[in-house]
A and B are shown apart, each in its own frame.
Chain A
Amino acid sequence: EPEVTQTPSHQVTQMGQEVILRCVPISNHLYFYWYRQILGQKVEFLVSFYNNEISEKSEIFDDQFSVERPDGSNFTLKIRSTKLEDSAMYFCASGGGYNEQFFGPGTRLTVL
């Protein structure tokens, strides 16, 4: 069964460094999402992406964040200058439409 994959599974970085989280969505899906979950808290929406552009973003998704679909298969989330409060689990999801969303296993980001 097709699935969403994410790499790396765990990323440790120093505050101020740039990180790129990678996702490979399900191949025929057209809608892509990033969510995050701070430890002990609920999952929060970051951004949705459709037709090669951002379709919706949350207040969390400020200028430090960017998304890209560089090669038609990968979907990346870049954090330009990480802060301690960016430490969280980051989930990628993809969907073919009609509200369906399939989640990847997540990347645990630890900012020291």
Chain B
Amino acid sequence: AQTVTQSQPEMSVQEAETVTLSCTYDTSESDYYLFWYKQPPSRQMILVIRQEAYKQQNATENRFSVNFQKAAKSFSLKISDSQLGDAAMYFCAYRSAVRGGSQGNLIFGKGTKLSVKP
């Protein structure tokens, strides 16, 4: 079974600085997707960024980028120019590309709480 591990329960960053959140995963599959979701105090899960495992290029979305190391099974999120609104729980998630059954469902890590200091 696949697992997702976020080893940093809490992180803190100064406003306008850069922070990197870590995520590792375990899988025997070669085709899958990886995601970072943000959960602000409102608790709605918001998609931040996604990565397709068969793409070597790291995904970027404005101030958010990932460092995807497939061989190392690592998927870290870098937030540049941190803003107060970035403060939230961040969840890393894995999804198999296999269709059907429970294999296609999201597997979440336990999250990292990010604080942004003004």
Are A and B associated in one complex? no
B interface residue numbers (CB < 8 A to A) = none
